[in-house]
Every structure is written in C-alpha cells, then in structure tokens.
Structure 1
Amino acid sequence: MAVTSTALASEHAPVPVPLIVDTDTASDDCFALLLALLDPRADLRAITMVQGNVGFDQQVHNAFLTLEVAGRLGEVPVYLGAREALGGGWVGAEDVHGDGVGGQRRTNDATPEPEHAVDALVRLAAASPGEITVVAIGPLTNLALAIERDPSFVSNVRELIVMGGSLDGVGNITPAAEYNIYADPEAAAAVVGAGFARLRFVTWSPVTLRDAVFDANRVARIEATGTQRAAFFVRANQAPFDFDTAHGAAGSTHPDTLSVLAAIDPAVVVEEVPFVMTVALEGERRGATDVVPANPGDANCTAITLADGELLFETMLGILSR
C-alpha cells in the first residue's frame, strides 16, 4: 500500500508537549496562554491560578477572556489556587498592568473547576509521572503548596520552568528583586530547594530585558495583521508597554511568553547555564535571587542566559495573525 505524503507528515510531526501553566493572568501572562493554547506543539492540560499581578477575580476574568480569544473555551480547565502568599498578604502590580487586559471584557460566563489548583497540580502530575512540564509565570505559591501536599510532586513533574528572579542583581519591583520571587520569597525558596530534576529559570535580567522586548515597530507589525487576536494583544499590552518604556526598556517585556516557548521549542534557547540559586528572605534584599555558576551535578537549576528574540517575536506574530 502506498504511503501518502500526508501520512508521512503526520508520522514525523512532533508530539505536543504536555503543559500546565500556573499564572497570575495579566498582559504577558495572557499572551503566554495564547501561545500555549494555539501552538500545535503545546498540549495545555490545565491553567492554574495564583495570587499576583492584579486582583484575583480580575485574573480569573482575564484567563477566561484569553480562552475566549483563543477559541478554546470549555476545552482547557481552569483551577483556582492560592489568593495570598505563604506568609499572608498580596503584593499586586496593577501600576504596571492596569487590569491586565486594557479594559476588555469577556462575553462568556464560564466558571472554574471546583478542585483547588494545588490538588489539581498534584493529581495531574501523579497521573502522568515524568510527562508534564509546568510553566510557572506568577509567584510560586501554588508550586510550594503542591510540594508540601505531596513531596512526590517534585519527581512526577518532568520539568518546571519558572519566570522569575535575576542573574545580575537587577530587579523590577525593588532594586534587587524581581516581582514573581518578591511576591512570595518563602515559596520561591521552597521550590528552589525542592530538588526538581529539571528546574529552569527565565529571569528578568539580563535575558528578558535584552531578548524578550517588543518595541513599537514589532507592536505595529502585530497590529497591522488586523486580526481579533492582534487587537486583543495591542490593547492588553498598552499599559505594560507604557510602563516599561517609561522605565528605560525599549518596548514591552515578554518573559512569560518566552517561558512557554522555551517549553515547546528548544531553538529559542541559545545558551543555558547551570547555577546554584538561593533566595534572600531578609532585609532590603528580600526576594532577590543569588546565583553562582556550577557544574551540572552541583547545580539546583539552570537559567537561560541568551534567547532568540527574533524567533520569539515571529512565533507570536504567527499566533496573533490567525
């Protein structure tokens, strides 16, 4: 029997990467979700929500709006998790994101699953041990609670990619601390020390500030496609674009989207280095990440030190132009 070219293409198509995205959905988190929802290389199993960028109920709204924009409502479950840091309280970033979507409103009345996000993380990882990549693009509260709930969560997760921290001591909420780590340093310390076999960081500085920036020309190219998704991006991106450029960046920053792309496309990672990382828990440096280069056998994580920013942009341009 002859084998068709279609069959051959199917036979050699890459197997989608099973993903869970843990998110504090606002702006770039929404764009990262669009990538995970629409790129055929991603098999998004769940969205888990954690305290972070904007008010929790607004984050939930933003997640369902993003599912609506992606045309994936009812296909990917949303689970609600921690509304406060491990030590209590919430540190928002509404000065950066506004409401996270530029005032856009969802038209759907979808509701989250009744199961708590921490229970869902533990259950899904246990059901597919060694298969699921978790991409954590908010504070690490849910992940720390999952480790506490079931220590085998650490070995059941194939890979944990964290957007957070800094390699050179440059923060974005304090002079030394990046927001996701600062918002729950105790959770970050627990995750870093848990012993994940593959723990990878996409940091704020230097990689985001150098390789994950969409300047005005790139935003204009997205807008020029004229699609609903492009319009959603431009409006949701305006507040962080204005904030980032007012604070010295060349455009809006997209580390969350880079984190998802790193999970599904190794080509975006140009250089990755093993480190021993610790998290400062006291004083003016609370929430800062201290890193020392290490041999792979001695390291507790790796961090992307050089990424292909053009590949990141072109990938998102393709997703948003549909």
Structure 2
Amino acid sequence: MLCFFYYNPSHFPCHLVLISGSSSGRRSQTTQLYNSHKMPKKLLLVDVDCGLDDAQALMMALAAPEVEILGITCCFGNTTAENVCRNVLRVLQVCKRMEISVVAVGPLTNLALAAKMDPTLPKKINKLYIMGGNMEGRGNRTVCAEFNFYLDPEAAYIVTNEFTCPIFIAALEFTWENSLTMEYFRNWVEQDTDKARFMKKITAKWQQKHGFVSYDSYAMAAAIDESIVTEYLECAVSVELHGRYARGMLVLDTEDKWKKQQKVVLMKKCNLEKFKERLWAALQ
C-alpha cells in the first residue's frame, strides 16, 4: 500500500525557515552562505516508512537551504502506511510546514474526490485558489457556464459547498476585465530566452477574443502574492447542477439569503503592473 502526501515547498521556501534550537545560529550562517552564492537547489522526492531515523532524515532535508522537497511518499515498513502518514504530518508540524495552499486551475475533480476519500482534507488546506466559475452568468463553454466548472459541475459544487478553508476564486469575468494588451503579449514572447521561444511556439495558433488573457495565471499570481488582487467580493456561492441552460454556473448569494457560514472570496480588480511583472519574469 502506498499513500502520497504532497508538500508545496513554494509556500515555505526551505532557506527561509529555520528550526529553533542550539544550532539555529549555525543554520542561519548556512542559509546566508547559500543565499550569497545563489546555488541551485537540489530537488528531492522523499520516500519514507517514517520511524525515528526517517523523521531525523526528513528534518535534515527540511532544514537544508540548498534542498527543495517536491513531495513526500509514505510506505509501510516501520509501521502501517496510515501511521507513516500520521508520523510525517507530525514531523511537518514541528518543522512548521503544515500551512499548505492549493492552486486549482482545472476542473475540480481531484479535489472533490480527495475530500470524499478523506473528509478532513478541507481542514488541512491553508488556502485554496481557484480559476473557474463566473460572477455574472456569462460563460465561455456554454451561454451561462465557465469551462472548468462546466466540465465537472458536481466537483465544483462539492468544493464550493463542503470545503471550509478560505477559498479565493478568479472567475471568468475577472480575467476578462483584467486582460492585457496583445502588444504586451507580442513583446512577452519576443524575449530572447528559451522560455519565450517555447511560449511563442505553443501559442502560435492561440486565438484571443478579449485581449491577452492568461486565465489560470491570475489564480497563481494571487497565491504567490495576494496584494496583486486589489478588490474582492466576499459572499456565499454554490453551483447549479440541474438547470437546462445554467448547469455549471456559479451562483452568488450577494444578499446573504442562504445564511451560509462559509463564504468565498471572488477577485474583482487586479494590480496589472504587478501581474505583468510576474508574467514577464516567467519567461526570463
């Protein structure tokens, strides 16, 4: 039996997190040395049957500034796979790596299934950033539904109704209203880098109706730097499942008629200069 626990290192860069103790000064010096030389990080996928020595090895990796842990897989050995997962969570907790944010930029199928398999999952997520849904009943897949929510409305319903973590949504209209110019897009892909040449090649036949809209990048940018989004709307939401025309549409309760305790945060306005800087840097 193999279970998988995913840790997002970008939320807590290893070289910025120091574990307190008698050797904290020594770790700080190591961190400063690493930062001054700007050495590339070693990417690790760690497979454990987490007993005492596994915990020690894992804590060593978490404290190493030159290491980025991409994921931790848990297998039976010292104890059952379930206990191994619990032990790994204990290690992450003591190393202050428990606040994991999730960015979902496709249909929400995996998140919904994961929550059904483990009902405690929504409580383990620090923040959830979603690109999907709509705020004004306008769609790009059907008349009333956005692409991601329409492809799996039941999953979108589960996530928006059953997840208790803070949810931030970059809806379709938000991305349209904060689009960039095609002039920016052309300059963006004309940078003299391999990344830019790759992007120019894969977007050669990409048709845009609303200017340059990098739909999923808005949710990612907000997860990286929340100050990029400058205005929000907070309200309860749900997803229409049975409508003849509106299946998959995100429904907003702006007047709080449902009296739902759980609210989501819908992005409304964006600091486009900061957003453009993030996109530009992505191809450098």
What TM-score range do you get, normalising by the shorter chain? 0.5 to 0.7
Percent identity of equivalent pairs: 25
Cα distance in 2 between the residues matched to 1:308 and 1:294: 27
The equivalent residue for 2:48 is: none
Question: Structure 1 residues 19 and 256 mapped into 2: Cα distance closer, same or farther (>3 Å)?
Answer: farther
For residues 113-192 of structure 1, the aligned pairs below 5 Å read 127=89, 128=92, 130-192=98-160
Q: Secondary structure at the match of 1:193?
A: helix
Distance, in Å, in 2 between the alignment partners of 1:256 and 1:138 is 8
2:254 to 282, 293, 302: 293
Q: Say which of 228, 235, 246 aligns to 1:275.
A: 235
Q: Give distance in 1, aligned partners of 2:141 and 2:157.
A: 18
Q: Which residue of 2 aligns with 1:312?
A: 275
Contact 2:152–2:248, Cα closer than 8 Å, also in 1: yes
- Structure 1 unpaired stretches of 5+: 1-17, 21-35, 45-71, 78-112, 116-122
Superposition deviation, residue 254 in structure 1:
1.2
Looking at structure 1, the residues matched to 255 and 276 of structure 2 have their Cα atoms a distance apart, in angstroms, of 31
Letter of the structure 1 residue corresponding to residue 272 of structure 2? G
Residues 129 and 169 in structure 2, CA contact (< 8 A), matched pair in contact too = yes
**Could you give the per-residue CA deviations for residues 255-289 of structure 1, whole angstroms, max 9, x where no partner exists?**
21111110111220101121111101112111011
Distance in 1 between residues matched to 2:13 and 2:203, nearest whole Å: 25
| Contact in 2 for aligned 1:19/1:135 (Cα 8 Å) | no
Q: CA deviation at 1:250?
A: 1.9
CA distances 1:81-110 after superposition (whole Å, capped 9, x unpaired): xxxxxxxxxxxxxxxxxxxxxxxxxxxxxx
Provide Cα deviations, 1:39-97, integer angstroms capped at 9, x if missing partner: xx7759xxxxxxxxxxxxxxxxxxxxxxxxxxx9x9377xxxxxxxxxxxxxxxxxxxx
Post-superposition offset of 1:298: 3.6
Determine the C-alpha separation between the residues in 2 that align with 1:235 and 1:76: 31
1:235 and 2:201 aligned: yes
Indicate whether 1:266 and 2:226 are aligned.
yes
Letter in 2 for 1:236: I
SS in 2 for 1:158: strand
> Do the aligned residues in 2 keep the contact of 1:276 with 1:294 (CA within 8 Å)?
no
| Structure 2 unmatched ranges of 5 or more | 1-6, 15-39, 46-71, 75-84
1:54 is aligned to none
For these two proteins, the number of residue pairs brought into alignment is 209
* TM-score of the two chains, using structure 2 as the length reference: 0.65
Amino acid at match of 2:268: T
Q: Which has the higher contact order (CA 8 A, sep 6+)?
A: 1
In structure 1, what is the Cα distance between the partners aligned to 2:44 and 2:218? 21
* Aligned ranges 1:1-150 → 2 under 5 Å: 19=8, 75=43, 127=89, 128=92, 130-150=98-118
SS at match of 1:230: helix
**Structural RMSD (CA):** 3.2
8 Å CA contact retained: 2:190, 2:197: no
Cα offset, 1:157, TM superposition: 0.5
- Whether the aligned pair in 2 keeps the contact of 1:200 and 1:302 (CA below 8 Å) is yes
- What's the CA shift for 1:299? 4.3
Instruction: Give the deviation of 1:319 after TM superposition.
Output: 2.5
